[in-house]
Structure 1
Amino acid sequence: MNSNDQGMPFTPEIDADSPLPDIGRERIIASERFDSPAFRDKEWSRVFRRVWNMGPREEEIRSPGDFVTHELGRESFIFIRDQNEKLRCFFNVCQHRGNQLIPDAKCGNRRFLKCQFHAWAWNIDGTIKAVPDAHTFPGLKNGLPCGELDLTEVRIDTWGGWIWFNIDGEAPPLLEFLGVIPEHLNPYKMQDMRLYEYKSFQWECNWKAGADAFNESYHFRGIHPQMLKWSEARASIELLGEHSRMINRYGTTSPPHMNEKELFPELKQWLSFYGMDPEAYEGRPEDVRLAKQKYAREMQHDTHYPYVHLRDDQLSDVYHYFVFPNVVFNTFAEGINVFRHRPHETDPNKMYYDLLLLAHIPPDHDVQFEYKKFTTPVKYGEIFDNPQPKIITEVMQQDADNLQYVQAGIRSEGFKGMYLGDQELRVRHFHNMIDKYMGG
C-alpha cells in the first residue's frame, strides 16, 4: 500500500476495472436457512461458537469491577475488568443452580458477583468467593474447591477498541481471523473513537436477512430513491477472505439525477452535517464531494480528525466493511456507524439490530447517551439521544420497515431462491461463508 506523508500506509483503493470473481451463479435456496429451528441450532454450534464475535467497547469497562452484559443468541456473557485490571469474559450463569448472575443490568460496577437466588458469590476474576452454609454441602466440608466452582471463562482479545470473544476457544488468533481488516482500517484510528450512541432494535426477520440488506447498495433505487440525490448507488466491491467491503461515493448524485444545476435539499443536508455552508457552494451537485474533500484537507493539521492519514476520496466517501459473520463498519473520516446483527434467542424469524455510533470526539467533550433496547417498531428520527440527520434516519426507517416483508416473502412456497447479480456479490459471498462453516 502507498503511504502518506506521516509514513502510515493508506487504506487501499478498489480497482474498479478488475473483474469480479466468479463465486457461483445458482440461486440461493432461502427458506430453511432463514426460518428453520434446526438450521438455527446448527448455525449456533458451527458458526457463532467458532468465530470471533464482537462484544463491548473497551472504553465501557475502564476500572476494576466495571462490567457490561452482552447477549448473543441463546447465551448471555459478562465482560468485566478484574482486580488486576485484566479484561475477562464469563458466561452469565451461576454455578450453583444456573440462575443468571446479572439478569437485569446492562452495565455497572460490582465489587463481586452475587447470585440473587441463593446468594452464592464470586470474585470479579471469576473465582468462587462464598457459599452460604457451605458445611451443608458434602463436597465443601473441607472448604471451597479450587477451580471446580469458578465461573466458566470465555476466550477474548481486543482490536480497534472492541473486545472480541470466541466461545469454543478454538478459533485462530483474532488478527489472523480478521485478515486485512485491521490494516485497512488502521488509518481511521477506530481505537481512538468514542461511543456516543448505542441502541438495539428487534426486527421481524432472520439475522441473515438483516445482514443481506446491508451487504449491497443495489437496493438504493428501490427502497431509498432519495439516496440517489446525495450518493452513488453503484459501489465498488472487493472480497477479503471471509470478509468483504464496498465503497460508495457520498456527496454526489446517481442516475437519473446527474447533470442537475441546483443542489438537492439532501445534498444541502449532507454539507451542513459536516459544518459547511451549502449556500456558499457554487459547483455541480455531483461534485459536492470534492468540496468536502477540499474543506477537510485544508484543516487536516488543525483538527482531531485523522484527515492527514486518509486519501482524498476517504474524506467524503463511505468505506463499508463486513466482518463475518455479523458486523458492519460503515466507515467515514470522522467516525464509524457500526451495525451488529444478532440472532434472536429462540425465534429464527426475529433478530436484534445493534446500532453503535462512534466518532472522533475531543477528550474534554462530554458525551451523554443511554442504551435502550426496542422490541416494537419505532420512529428512528425520534429515538436518539444525540439527534441524527434526517437523510440518515429516513434510510434506517425504510430498511427496518421493509425487512418484515422480506422475511415473509422468503418463507413463501412460491419463492424459488435468491437470484443474485454482480452488485449483490457480497450477499452471495456471505452465504457461501455460512455454508462453509455449516459444512465443517
Structure 2
Amino acid sequence: MDNSKPGSARAEGPSVADTLQSDPSIDAPLLENSYAFLGDADIPAERYTSEAFFKQEMQQLWPNAWQWVCREEHLQDQGDNQVYDIGDYSVIVTRVDDNTIKAYLNSCTHRNTRLLGAEGSGYSQGFTCPFHGWSWHLDGSINNIPGRWDFPHVSEESHKLQEVNCEIWGGFVFINIDPDAKPLAQYLDVLPEHFSHFPLERRRIKLHVQKKLPCNWKAAQEAFMEAYHNFETHNSPNGANAQYDIFGDYVSRFIHNIGNYSPQSLSDYPGDKWRDPPLTEQQMLEMLAINDRVLEEGETARSVAAQMTRDNFKAELGVDLSNTSDSLILDSIEYHLFPNMFFFPGILIPMVYRFRPLGNDVDSCIFDLMIMEPLPEGAEHPEPPEPILLEVEQSYTEVEALGWLGAIYDEDTDNLQLQQQGFKTSRKGATLGNYQESRIRRVHLTLEKFLNL
C-alpha cells in the first residue's frame, strides 16, 4: 500500500480483517472493507457552539431526516402510543390496529394545542384536545367537534390529524416529518442486507438508560465514532488497529477486535505498558475478566471467551449461538445511521444509541442507551422496561444493571463538558484523522448537504 496517499496509512501489525478472515463462521458483511478519503480540512468549532448553526440544524436537518422513535414492542396493543420530541417538533406514534402503526404531528388541527404532554409512552383510545375538546380516532380521522354547527368550513380531509411518514426496520419505528421524504429503504443503504445476518427484530430491550450530557449532540456522538480514544480514555490497547468503513452518505461502521490486539499497532503511542513485553493469551483472558481458566493447547483467549459466552447464553436464556462467529459474539461492531443513530449487532456488545439536542440548547443533549438482548427462538417480546433517566452530574455506575459498562460510559462521557468548553475557547476548528476519524467527517459532509452549505 502507498502510505503517501492521504487516508491510505494504517496502524502497523495485523489488521482487523486478518483476524476476521481466520474465523470459520464469520458473516459475509463483516468481511466487507469500504473506505474513501474524504478530505482533511478542520471542522469549524462554531458547528458545536453557534446558536445560528444550531438554528439551521433545527430548521433544515431534524424536520427532514429519518429518526427512530421507539421499538415495536413499545406499541404492542391498540392505542399504545409514544411521544417523541426533537427541538420544537413533537410527534405521536401510535398503534392503530394489529397491522398498522401511524405517526402524527402532536398538534390539534383547530388551534394547534399540543394533544399529548411530556415525551414518553402512554395509552389512549383516541386523541382529545385539552383546550376545546376536539377529538380524533386512532387512525387520525375526526371523532367529534363540539359546536360543529359553527364550522361548516371544516371537512374530514382538511382537519384530520396531520400525518407524519412512519416506517419500520429491524423492529425500530422511524419517522420523518418531511412530507416529501424519500423512503426509509433508500436511506438505510447497506443496513437491511447486513442486518439480515444479525436481525435486530429478534432482540429485546433488556435496559434503557437516558442521560443528559453537557455538550452539543454532535460532540457527544462523535465520542463513540472512533476507537482512537481507547488508549488514553479507557487505558486499553483494544482498537488501535480498528477498521473504519463508509458505505455512503448515511451509513458507516467500525469494527475493533476484543481480546486480540497487535503490540505493533501501538508502536507510536507513549509508554511501553502494552508493548514490552506484549500480553500473553493468558493475560488476555484476564483482561476479559476470565481469571480462573487455563488455556489448553490450540486455544486462544478469543476462542475461549466466545465459547463461554455461547454456553452462558444457552444455559441462562435458551439462546443457541452455536453458529455465531467469535467476532459477532465478542467484537465491538458499530454501525452509524445519519444523523444520530448507532446499531451494534454483537452479542456481548449489543447496544443501540441515539443522540439528540435537549430542547433548544446548543450546549446540551440527551443520550439514549439501550442494551438489546437476543430472544430465544419463538419467544414473544416482553413489555420493554421504562427508561432510567440520569442527570448530568449522575454516574452511570448508579445503574446497577449496567455492571462493568457503567464505569466505561463514565469514561466516555466525562470529557465532553471539557470539550464543549474548549470549542468555545479555541481559535481553530477540530482536526480529524484521515482514517480513524473518517466517520465523523462523513457526518459533517452529509450535514452540509442538509443545510445547503
User: Smaller-chain TM-score range?
Assistant: 0.7 to 0.9
- SS at the partner of 1:332? coil
Identify the residue that residue 223 of structure 1 maps to in structure 2. 233
2:256 to 248, 260, 263: 248
1:59 paired to 2:77: no
1:412 paired to 2:425: yes
CA–CA separation in structure 2 for the residues paired with 1:28 and 1:103? 37
1:170 paired to 2:180: yes
CA–CA separation in structure 2 for the residues paired with 1:372 and 1:393? 13
User: Does 430-439 or 308-317 show the bigger shift?
Assistant: 308-317
**CA offset at residue 394 of structure 1?**
1.1
1:401 paired to 2:417: no
2:385 to 369, 389, 392: 369
1:47 to 31, 54, 61: 61
**CA offset at residue 319 of structure 1?**
1.2
CA–CA separation in structure 2 for the residues paired with 1:88 and 1:375? 32
1:24 paired to 2:39: yes
Identify the residue that residue 4 of structure 2 maps to in structure 1. none
Gap runs ≥5 in structure 1? 272-276
**CA offset at residue 61 of structure 1?**
0.6
2:337 to 296, 299, 323: 323
CA–CA separation in structure 1 for the residues paired with 2:209 and 2:434? 33
Identify the residue that residue 192 of structure 1 maps to in structure 2. 202
Change in Cα spacing, 1:294 to 1:5, as seen in structure 2 (3 Å) is closer
* Correspondence list, 1:258-273, <5 A: 259-261=278-280, 268=286, 270-271=288-289
Change in Cα spacing, 1:223 to 1:84, as seen in structure 2 (3 Å) is closer
User: Does 248-257 or 348-357 show the bigger shift?
Assistant: 248-257
**CA offset at residue 261 of structure 1?**
4.8
**CA offset at residue 104 of structure 1?**
3.4
Change in Cα spacing, 1:365 to 1:419, as seen in structure 2 (3 Å) is closer
Q: Cα deviation per residue 1:2-29 (whole Å; 9 max; x = unaligned)?
A: 9x999x97323144xx8x5221012122
Residues 66 and 81, structure 1, Cα contact 8 Å, conserved in 2:
yes
The amino acid that maps onto 1:235 is A
Residues 381 and 394, structure 1, Cα contact 8 Å, conserved in 2:
yes
**CA offset at residue 407 of structure 1?**
1.0
Change in Cα spacing, 1:319 to 1:417, as seen in structure 2 (3 Å) is closer
Identify the residue that residue 267 of structure 2 maps to in structure 1. none
**CA offset at residue 268 of structure 1?**
4.5
* Correspondence list, 1:33-432, <5 A: 33-83=47-97, 85-104=99-118, 106-135=120-149, 137-139=150-152, 145-225=155-235, 227-228=236-237, 231-242=238-249, 243-253=251-261, 255=263, 256-257=273-274, 259-261=278-280, 268=286, 270-271=288-289, 278-282=291-295, 287-295=300-308, 305=319, 307=321, 310-333=324-347, 336-362=350-376, 363=379, 369-383=385-399, 387-390=401-404, 392-432=405-445
CA–CA separation in structure 2 for the residues paired with 1:367 and 1:5? 37
Change in Cα spacing, 1:373 to 1:150, as seen in structure 2 (3 Å) is farther
**CA offset at residue 57 of structure 1?**
0.4
Q: Which has the higher contact order (CA 8 A, sep 6+)?
A: 2
Identify the residue that residue 11 of structure 1 maps to in structure 2. 29
Q: Cα deviation per residue 1:256-297 (whole Å; 9 max; x = unaligned)?
A: 435335966x955745xxxxx64024279x942221234457
Residues 187 and 309, structure 1, Cα contact 8 Å, conserved in 2:
no
CA–CA separation in structure 1 for the residues paired with 2:156 and 2:214? 45
CA–CA separation in structure 2 for the residues paired with 1:235 and 1:160? 26
Residues 358 and 365, structure 2, Cα contact 8 Å, conserved in 1:
yes
**CA offset at residue 157 of structure 1?**
1.0
CA–CA separation in structure 2 for the residues paired with 1:374 and 1:234? 33
CA–CA separation in structure 2 for the residues paired with 1:294 and 1:438? 48
The amino acid that maps onto 1:22 is F
User: Does 298-307 or 41-50 show the bigger shift?
Assistant: 298-307
- SS at the partner of 2:333? strand
Change in Cα spacing, 1:52 to 1:97, as seen in structure 2 (3 Å) is same
- SS at the partner of 1:280? coil
Residues 40 and 431, structure 2, Cα contact 8 Å, conserved in 1:
no
The number of residues matched between the two structures is 416
Q: Cα deviation per residue 1:352-407 (whole Å; 9 max; x = unaligned)?
A: 111122111343796773223334321101135xx1222x2112112222111111
Change in Cα spacing, 1:281 to 1:88, as seen in structure 2 (3 Å) is farther
Identity of aligned residues (%): 26
TM-score normalised by L of structure 1: 0.84
**CA offset at residue 417 of structure 1?**
3.5
**CA offset at residue 65 of structure 1?**
0.6
Change in Cα spacing, 1:306 to 1:74, as seen in structure 2 (3 Å) is farther
User: Does 350-359 or 255-264 show the bigger shift?
Assistant: 255-264
Residues 49 and 166, structure 1, Cα contact 8 Å, conserved in 2:
yes
1:439 paired to 2:452: yes
Identify the residue that residue 268 of structure 2 maps to in structure 1. none
Change in Cα spacing, 1:203 to 1:5, as seen in structure 2 (3 Å) is closer
CA–CA separation in structure 1 for the residues paired with 2:281 and 2:78? 56
Change in Cα spacing, 1:52 to 1:281, as seen in structure 2 (3 Å) is farther
- SS at the partner of 1:423? coil
The amino acid that maps onto 2:416 is L
Change in Cα spacing, 1:210 to 1:53, as seen in structure 2 (3 Å) is same
RMSD: 3.2
Residues 204 and 382, structure 2, Cα contact 8 Å, conserved in 1:
no
CA–CA separation in structure 2 for the residues paired with 1:323 and 1:368? 23
Change in Cα spacing, 1:128 to 1:22, as seen in structure 2 (3 Å) is same
User: Does 356-365 or 74-83 show the bigger shift?
Assistant: 356-365
CA–CA separation in structure 1 for the residues paired with 2:72 and 2:43? 38
Change in Cα spacing, 1:298 to 1:199, as seen in structure 2 (3 Å) is closer
TM-score normalised by L of structure 2: 0.82
Q: Cα deviation per residue 1:78-123 (whole Å; 9 max; x = unaligned)?
A: 1101146410001111222322211036212211112223322111
Gap runs ≥5 in structure 2? 1-20, 264-272
Identify the residue that residue 274 of structure 1 maps to in structure 2. none
User: Does 58-67 or 104-113 show the bigger shift?
Assistant: 104-113
CA–CA separation in structure 2 for the residues paired with 1:298 and 1:84? 36
